Structure 1
Amino acid sequence: MQQNKQNGLIWAVGIEDTFIGQTARGERPLDEFELTQHYRFWREDLDRVRASGASMIRYGIPWYRVEPADGVYDWNWTDQVMAYFAEHRELVPIVDLMHYGTPLWLKNEFMNARYPELVARYAAAFAERYRHVARFYTPLNEPWVNAEWCGWSGKWPPYLKGQLGFALVLNQLCKGIVLTVRALKQLQPEAVMVHVEASKKYVPADPSFADQARFWNELRYAMWELVQGRVGHGHTLYEWMLDRHIGEPDLRWYAANRIELDWVGINYYPQFSVNVIDRQVVEEDKIPEPVPGTVEDMKDIARDIYRRYGKPVFITETSYNGSVDERVAWLEEVARASRELLEEGVDLYGVTWFPFFDMADWPYRTNGLPLRDNMATFGLYTLEEQPDGTLRRVKNAAAHRFEAEAKKTKA
């Protein structure tokens, strides 16, 4: 990838690709490609990405669609998209193999005992078919958020609750990541794994919670620590894991099957990524609430991760849910901060504006409101609903600012 890293920074985008197809509790499916009409306008959307100057794109594969039955694959739509990337080599995909959802036939979803082997089997099937096009992969997007929504808050399948549920789901996800990486590397040794996590920062509500906040700032690295086989006697997270049924056999399995990180992906949103540790979190098992964050918090996270792992860092998601002016201001802050991190010596490969166009906010799944009332305004393109229901892509000022940064990097 070194040849694409011009003047020290890659500018990338991503298309929101959450795929939760199950509706067992009466929810609506949350398939972002369907809701934003990307299945319909995928070619035009990718043309717009190319025109933006982005040299990479995080791009999701809807597992639940491509494997509609156990071991049966339907690559019809994916063939078309991957052929596009083969034709336009200047836009390099980071293939997002797993973005929250499982196939509809997989009973108990992530808690199915076969999940780790099945997700690796699917990844291998993808690589067998498309390794002539794809080299960069995210084995699983945001294990923390995945485990939180599926295992702690119980909002998504398999609807577990509390820190125990969180840990049980996280363990399954991490085993799936390890097996996926091993399968991909066996088929494609040159493949680069972009391990993407919701890079949290925890702050104490007051000085009495300082020790707890320090612990949470270790816990946020649980996925990276597990998959590298680092958790054992004496590790900060050892007792926490054992108390939540990630036992000695699990930890020995991770040590025996440890993987190396290639790139470390940081997802940072100033409205969601900084969270407060208070009495309810410590005493009542409450999920920490977000507080406003800054670009300096993002820099702190990037520095800490680079110091800890010594691997190339990629800001794999960032944006601002708000007005176009707010998005422009945030993009400018991120561009400045990224240059400062490079000057400090952090091996920062790139920045990803995510999502490229507006998205359906996740509460759409349960709140019953029409799509127009569930739009999250993150995008470089605004989605405007037309009288016939078509979502028109309207370029906004943030897109022009992004293009200026991308052009500056390539100059």
Structure 2
Amino acid sequence: MAKNFLKHIKTRFGEGNYAGDEFGGAGGRDGSGLPTGDPGNFMFATGIECSYPTIDHGKTRRDLLAECGHYDRWKEDLALVKDMGLKVLRYGLPYYSIHLGPGKYDWEFADQVMAEMQRLEITPILDLLHFGVPNWLGDFQNPELPVYFAEYAEAVARRYPWVRYYTPVNEVFVTARMSAKDGIWNEQLKSERGFVTAIKHLVAASIMANQQIAQVRPDCIIVQSESAEYIHELRANPCARIKLENKLRFLALDLLYAHHPDADVLNYLYDNGMTREEYDWFMAGEPPGYQVMGNDYYGRNERIILPNGEECTSMDVLGWYNITHEYYLRYRKPVMHTETNVFNAHEAPTWLWKQWVNILRMREEGIPVLGFTWYSLIDQVDWDIGLAQKIGKVNACGLFDLDRNPRKVSVAYRQLLQEYGQITIVPHGEMFQVTKEPAILKVEV
């Protein structure tokens, strides 16, 4: 009786562990182990909460870097990032206190922090505008904002030329809504026209900042952090207003990525102050560099409107995967999970794993996911009320508390890093490493 093929293979090559298997075969790496920071690797990150809007009609500045103790303990905070095994940090320099006026800057704090970050080999995703502007610029109704903010972005890029990853304007949609529609921050308006004015100024500021950064770093990677939201209206006859709201959540990215919105959204823009000339300017094309769509997701991002009009937070009905998948199909950009947390420290480890399941599901769809961020490194203050009042309530959502003691979620994150820390952005991502070549392609095919 003739030998079967396995007998021939075993006679010639042995019982297994064949030569060559270490190169991605049965003996290849599985992606476990702490992150190495190699190009093409998935980016595991945290962030340091850095919001600085004004409330009380400009009389009170909510600087979370101060309220959470970072100005005094920045070196300790950066060491915690390093100790966690993380290579990436979403970090916001305090724009309002650095940009003192046209062409005038105070770099003292920024220089110290950035030098230490470079020494520790932490890759920053540098956040340039996080919910507020310097007093001399006023607020987001100021049409000069794009010009002066672009000046600041260029100054940052030239001062720290080793930085490649940027978020020019964090959460444009949320910034405009909270400042000009909900009446909570900065200009504290409650008008549709104020909202449209804020959002067009913020997107224009982001675009022009991106232009200036690209002159210094033609290979810049722009991680646009935006809130992934949805309103579930439980009525047999949904109202036109909620339908419009579920389209307006795309507005910031539509303008940023030159994606024509639906006709009712376009009419809304024209009805509330956007000119045809301004609209055509936004639709001319997306900004330079490599564009990454960062989606922030908290369970409270989803809301339910009951038949009687009552509103409740739905906590993870669609979840990050379903909402972000919708955004991905709209813009076709590489994705990053740029923020998540829960305020209940006991529930945080489970929430972390749930978010990771969402990311694994996205990867199974073949969608390139650049990274994941637990936001933030340390606990926050008053975010349960959107910073509307200065009460000082601690939100237990950090990897560490305000005394820099680890919370349970930090243990879970370390476990996640140990298990998945060396995976690539997509399977076999070694073939498609993030290179330092300048971004040059304009047309996507």
TM over 0.5: yes
1:192 paired with 2:209, answer no
Map of 2:284 onto structure 1: 256
Q: Secondary structure at the match of 1:301?
A: helix
Distance 2:399 2:79 in 1: 14
Query: Once the two structures are superposed, what CA deviation does each residue of 1:166-209 show, in whole Å capped at 9, x if it has no partner?
Result: 11111111111111111111221111101111111121132311
- Structure with larger Rg: 2
Map of 2:126 onto structure 1: 95
Q: Secondary structure at the match of 2:373?
A: strand
Distance 2:226 2:415 in 1: 28
Distance 1:152 1:229 in 2: 23
Deviation at 1:19, TM superposition (A): 1.2
State whether residues 32 and 360 of structure 1, in contact with CA within 8 Å, keep that contact through their aligned partners in structure 2: yes
TM-score normalized by the length of structure 2: 0.81
Map of 1:80 onto structure 2: 112
Structure 1 residues 309-320: aligned runs within 5 Å:
309-320=331-342
Q: Secondary structure at the match of 1:94?
A: strand
- Candidates 344, 348, 371, aligned match of 2:365: 344
- Candidates 168, 171, 174, aligned match of 2:197: 168
Deviation at 1:147, TM superposition (A): 0.6
The alignment-based identity, stated in percent, is 27
Structure 1 residues 9-408: aligned runs within 5 Å:
9-20=42-53, 24=57, 26=59, 28-89=60-121, 91-107=122-138, 109-132=139-162, 134-209=163-238, 213-231=242-260, 235-256=263-284, 258-259=286-287, 262-270=291-299, 272-276=300-304, 291-294=313-316, 296-322=318-344, 324-362=345-383, 363=385, 367=389, 369=391, 371=392, 374-383=393-402, 392-408=403-419
State whether residues 305 and 312 of structure 2, in contact with CA within 8 Å, keep that contact through their aligned partners in structure 1: no
Tell me which amino acid in the other structure corresponds to 1:3: D
Distance 1:279 1:111 in 2: 36
Distance 2:386 2:320 in 1: 28
Distance 2:271 2:307 in 1: 20
Deviation at 1:68, TM superposition (A): 2.2
Deviation at 1:290, TM superposition (A): 5.4
Distance 1:290 1:376 in 2: 20
State whether residues 95 and 138 of structure 1, in contact with CA within 8 Å, keep that contact through their aligned partners in structure 2: yes
Deviation at 1:293, TM superposition (A): 2.5
Q: Secondary structure at the match of 2:338?
A: strand
Tell me which amino acid in the other structure corresponds to 2:408: A
Deviation at 1:377, TM superposition (A): 1.3
Query: Once the two structures are superposed, what CA deviation does each residue of 1:255-308 show, in whole Å capped at 9, x if it has no partner?
Result: 2364266100001001x2112457899xxxxxx955222274211112112222
Which runs of 5 or more structure 2 residues have no equivalent in the other structure? 1-35, 423-445
Deviation at 1:96, TM superposition (A): 0.5
Query: Once the two structures are superposed, what CA deviation does each residue of 1:340-391 show, in whole Å capped at 9, x if it has no partner?
Result: 211121211211000111011145955453x2xx1111111122xxxxxxxx
CA separation of 1:38/1:312 partners in 2, compared to 1, >3 Å: closer, same or farther?
same
TM-score normalized by the length of structure 1: 0.87
State whether residues 18 and 32 of structure 1, in contact with CA within 8 Å, keep that contact through their aligned partners in structure 2: yes
Query: Once the two structures are superposed, what CA deviation does each residue of 1:219-257 show, in whole Å capped at 9, x if it has no partner?
Result: 21101111223337x645211111111121210121236
Distance 1:410 1:228 in 2: 31
State whether residues 328 and 401 of structure 1, in contact with CA within 8 Å, keep that contact through their aligned partners in structure 2: yes
Q: Secondary structure at the match of 2:219?
A: coil
State whether residues 173 and 249 of structure 2, in contact with CA within 8 Å, keep that contact through their aligned partners in structure 1: yes
State whether residues 327 and 378 of structure 1, in contact with CA within 8 Å, keep that contact through their aligned partners in structure 2: yes
Distance 2:88 2:317 in 1: 22
Distance 2:226 2:417 in 1: 24
CA separation of 1:339/1:53 partners in 2, compared to 1, >3 Å: closer, same or farther?
same
CA separation of 1:97/1:367 partners in 2, compared to 1, >3 Å: closer, same or farther?
closer
Distance 1:257 1:93 in 2: 27
State whether residues 167 and 223 of structure 2, in contact with CA within 8 Å, keep that contact through their aligned partners in structure 1: yes
State whether residues 295 and 333 of structure 1, in contact with CA within 8 Å, keep that contact through their aligned partners in structure 2: no
Q: Secondary structure at the match of 1:176?
A: helix
Distance 1:291 1:205 in 2: 13
Equivalenced residue count is 385
Distance 1:279 1:185 in 2: 49
Which runs of at least 4 in structure 1 moved beyond 6 Å after TM superposition? 278-281
